[in-house]
């Protein structure tokens, strides 16, 4: 362990340097070649591109690329000591895969970006019941190791999404109807706390922290390893179906019937999507069936017939995640996620589809506009699995019934259009929520993985759960390093500086 007295002396001895540089030089003195200063190297040559332009264009004073949890501990102690001294440039961001599109979440201007890309273990245990996975992996890295072993984990469905961000938000998986949300399939977290200690959080060790990390984002520490439930699997059926735009109302009705808990087949997973892509209106549906069959039972997807083309086949999980990955453009396009949640109601869903189409029409002149709205079943067949692994604080109660999870993925060019896009998206969500309330289909849950920075994620978990999230934060991070020193993301408390 590095001495805090040594850190304090070194910080004050560096007064001749800009404060941001003094911290970066101190980090470099302790971590050597794992620290890259912007004044000595082009940082884009040592880290992978971000998914969107907003974080890609940010300019941290330095980037730390730890290779061990001990490295992370050292960095956190240095940064925490700087914050305690009241320095202005000791704020930092934590990056797993860099897929969140907003600025100031996985990158930072003038502070320190802690990039976890080299914490990339993927190791099943001897019994093939758990898989140790590092936060620096993307899901394609995980499945490339596990597919040949006929194993998988309850993880992401897009190859470019990072492990850390998905699991600490909650996530959604092809296997969620069978096993629950990805966060509910983490059996142990190895985490570096604000004081630099490296601890495990699981059902028996630090169980309150274990529950809070399921949807806890970056509020409690830096997770350096996830131990995930291993699931036996092999090749399975799935693909993407494409429809005429005129089919959308019929698909909306079929979707709401399909998604009800009473008749849901837990091996199935669908996502209905519509919008505009490359100046063309599109309607499509992801359909997957995770049992080892050459085709699903005929009745499962029977009401989604009428496609004009599809990619249905038996294939590996890795190949399906490659197919569903959003196009990468090396961080050159501005992007946004936005979300809302409704009760499963066909009239309301069709109304929201109409609102989306009106929003697209109002934005059609924005350069390189892409606007996709997606709808996923989010029934009790998913959230009911949480208690089997100690529960969570997400507020997904059985009494709330079945939900529709809405995710908007939008992109455009030009920073001058940011405010126009944000205003339009905020109005869409406001109008959609008001429509839902008028039909008794409103729901206050906000799915963190798809949320925009202006959305109140923790406001939807319920007062008692929010209080517990905050209590655990104060217990394990009494100096509130991860509330104040890590300003990006969805915070539990209002920052004080």
In a domain, 66, yes or no: yes
Residues 92 and 221 in one domain: no
Domain carrying residue 275: 236-460
Specify whether 421 is located in the same domain as 452: yes
In a domain, 242, yes or no: yes
Q: Which residues contact 465 (CB under 8 A, 6 or more apart)?
A: 393, 394, 395
Q: Are residues 334 and 447 in the same domain?
A: yes
**CA–CA gap between residue 130 and residue 344 (Å, rounded):** 34
Geometric angle at alpha carbon 491, from 490 and 497, rounded to 5°: 125
Residues 111, 13 share a domain: yes
Per-residue pLDDT of 13-23, as tens digits, reads 334 334 455 78
Report the number of distinct structural domains present in the chain.
3
**Neighbouring residues of 7: CB distance < 8 A, sequence distance ≥ 6:** 26, 77, 78, 81, 82
Q: What local confidence, expressed as pLDDT, does residue 302 receive? A: 95
Asked if residue 82 and residue 132 are part of one domain, the reply reads no
Q: What is the CATH number of the domain that holds 105?
A: 3.30.43.10
Record the pTM. 0.94
The residues facing 282 across adjacent strands are 275
pLDDT (0 to 100) of residue 45 = 84
Q: Is 210 in the same domain as 228? A: yes
* pLDDT tens digit sequence for 61-84: 999 999 999 999 999 999 999 888
Is residue 485 domain-resident? no
Q: Are residues 388 and 413 in the same domain?
A: yes
Instruction: Name 271's bridge partners.
Output: 286
Q: Is the pLDDT of residue 367 over 50?
A: yes
Q: Are residues 98 and 12 in the same domain?
A: yes
pLDDT digits (tens, 9 = 90+) for 202-255: 999 999 999 999 999 999 999 999 999 999 999 999 999 999 999 999 999 999
**Domain contains 495:** no
**Mean pLDDT score of the chain, rounded to an integer?**
93
């Amino acid at each position: 362990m590095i001495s805090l007295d040594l850190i304090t002396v070194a910080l004050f001895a560096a007064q001749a340097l800009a404060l941001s540089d003094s911290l970066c030089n101190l980090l470099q003195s302790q971590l050597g070649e794992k620290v890259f200063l912007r004044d000595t190297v082009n940082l884009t040559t040592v880290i992978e591109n971000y998914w969107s332009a907003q974080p890609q264009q940010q300019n941290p004073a330095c980037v730390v690329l730890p290779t061990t949890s001990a490295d992370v501990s050292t960095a956190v102690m240095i940064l925490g000591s700087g914050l305690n001294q009241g320095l202005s440039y000791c704020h930092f961001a934590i990056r797993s895969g860099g897929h969140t599109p907003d600025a100031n979440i996985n990158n930072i201007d003038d502070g320190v970006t802690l990039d976890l890309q080299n914490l990339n273990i993927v190791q099943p245990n001897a019994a093939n019941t758990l898989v140790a996975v590092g936060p620096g992996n993307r899901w394609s890295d995980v499945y490339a190791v596990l597919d040949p072993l006929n194993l998988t984990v309850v993880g992401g469905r897009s190859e470019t999404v990072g492990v850390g961000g998905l699991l600490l938000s909650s996530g959604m998986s092809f296997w969620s109807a069978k096993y629950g949300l990805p966060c509910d399939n983490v059996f142990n977290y190895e985490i570096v706390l604000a004081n630099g200690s490296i601890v495990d959080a699981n059902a028996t060790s630090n169980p309150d922290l274990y529950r809070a990390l399921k949807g806890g984002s970056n509020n409690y520490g830096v997770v350096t390893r996830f131990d995930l439930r291993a699931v036996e699997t092999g090749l399975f059926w799935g693909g993407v179906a494409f429809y005429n735009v005129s089919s959308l109302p019929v698909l909306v009705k079929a979707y709401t019937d399909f998604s009800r808990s009473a008749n849901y087949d837990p091996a199935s997973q669908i996502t209905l999507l519509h919008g505009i892509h490359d100046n063309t209106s599109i309607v499509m549906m992801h359909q997957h069936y995770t049992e080892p069959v050459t085709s699903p039972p005929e009745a499962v997807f029977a009401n989604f017939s009428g496609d004009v083309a599809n990619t249905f086949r038996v294939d590996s999980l890795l190949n399906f995640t490659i197919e569903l990955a959003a196009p990468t453009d090396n961080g050159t396009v501005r992007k946004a996620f936005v979300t809302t949640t409704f009760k499963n109601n066909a009239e309301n869903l069709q109304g929201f589809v109409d609102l989306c189409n009106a929003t697209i029409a109002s934005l059609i002149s924005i350069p390189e506009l892409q606007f996709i709205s997606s709808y996923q079943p989010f029934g009790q067949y998913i959230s009911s699995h949480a208690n089997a692994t100690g529960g969570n604080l997400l507020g997904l109660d059985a009494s709330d019934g079945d939900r529709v999870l809405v995710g908007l993925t939008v992109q455009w060019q030009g920073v001058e259009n940011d405010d126009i896009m944000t205003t339009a998206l905020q109005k869409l969500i406001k109008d959609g929520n008001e429509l839902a309330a008028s039909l008794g289909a409103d729901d206050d849950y906000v799915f963190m993985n798809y949320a925009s920075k202006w959305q109140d994620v923790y406001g939807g978990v319920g007062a008692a759960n929010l209080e517990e999230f905050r209590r655990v934060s104060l217990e394990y991070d009494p100096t509130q390093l991860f509330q104040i020193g890590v300003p990006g993301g969805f915070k539990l408390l209002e920052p004080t500086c």
